[in-house]
Amino acid sequence: MPQSAEPRVAPEPAWDLGAIVADLAGLRAVSQRRRYRGRPLPELPSREAVAGVLDALVSALYPRHFGPSGLSEETLDVFVADTIEQALRRLRREVRRELRLNDLDGTAKHGEIDGQALSIVADFAHDLPRIRALLDSDIRAAFDGDPAAKSLDEVVFCYPGVAAMIRHRIAHRLYALGVTMLARIVAEIAHAQTGIDIHPGATIGESFFIDHGTGVVIGETARIGRRVRLYQAVTLGAKRFETDEQGRIVKGGDRHPIIEDDVVIYAGATVLGRVTIGQGAQVGGGVWLTRSVPAGSVITQAKPVADSFENGGGI
């Protein structure tokens, strides 16, 4: 009988875990002292919880598409009511966390943050029908604007531009109510899911359609009118950032384009700065634009010029 092999002994790790953890703790402490000015560490909003609230709100806005299968006319409103109630309770908790995080000096009176959180969530809840109405106009615009669309249900289920706008309409309302971190979390979830990057501060009118959508970027202070259509890889960005005497970027300020009603911007176009694209204008694919254009304009790339020289001509 062969002798049984000796059990292998795992080698000692080549790293000092205790030292690594201690170094990280020291760096964390320095960062937290700088960020929170020595006050007790506030509880941060939960990205996981915000994602759950977002999923619930999407299913409540479009329960037949994103709610559980088998909902009947009798159970539909019950599902919507229960889903919204639970989502708003969870949202209120996350709003409280952001408000406490923003109270850097700890000056909020007892109960003030709780009352403010309740007011914000109540205002948001009252706006849900308006959000749904805006989204219905976006969905109709996508169906009407794409010859490949076979039905409104297909648009709701399958179009990344519509998915991005469902989440943007939610994020924009949260942003307007002052919970900007929660709004940014919602926007980044949408960005990860669709490849479309819309800052929650961007103001977008009804019947907005993003066709294909991958690579679209819309900045914080962009203002977009009604019935606007964008194609993939369009950027509505800032031309430059103002700086102070120390060279630090000045926060805020209107730095992104204004897009008026009925504008079409084709694939790969870049519009930078606080410029205005007038009503009904068309901006062609690949155009780089840093100036305002009047209503009804058609802006295209310059046509290439080919010069030929024969028998020494032009030399």
Distances (CA, A) of 290 to 143, 202, 225, 235, 241: 31, 19, 19, 12, 14
pLDDT given at position 189: 98
pLDDT single digits (tens) 219-269 = 999 999 999 999 999 999 999 877 788 888 888 899 999 999 999 999 999
Q: What is the mean pLDDT of residues 107-125?
A: 93
Per-residue pLDDT for 1 more than 60?
no
Most confident of 51-60, 71-80, 99-108: 51-60
pLDDT for 178-201, tens place per residue? 999 999 999 999 999 999 999 999
Distance CA 171, CA 179 (A): 9
Closest CA to 259 of 247, 273, 241: 273
The pLDDT of 56-76, averaged and rounded, is: 95
pLDDT band at 173 (very low <50, low <70, confident <90, very high): very high
Element (H, E) at 81: helix 73-102
Per-residue pLDDT at 133 exceeds 60: yes
With bands split at pLDDT 50, 70 and 90, how would you rate the model's confidence at 106?
Answer: confident
Q: Is residue 307 pLDDT above 70, yes or no?
A: no
Q: Is the pLDDT of residue 217 over 80?
A: yes
Domains of the chain: 43-196 (1.10.3130.10), 202-306 (2.160.10.10)
Whole-number Cα distances in Å, 158 to 2, 139, 141, 163, 262: 64, 11, 14, 8, 24
Q: What's the pLDDT score for residue 39?
A: 80
Give pTM, 2 decimals.
0.90
Contact of 236 with 254, CB cutoff 8 Å: no
Residue 198: CB atoms within 10 A of its CB come to: 26
Note whether 202 and 180 are within 8 A (CB). Answer: no
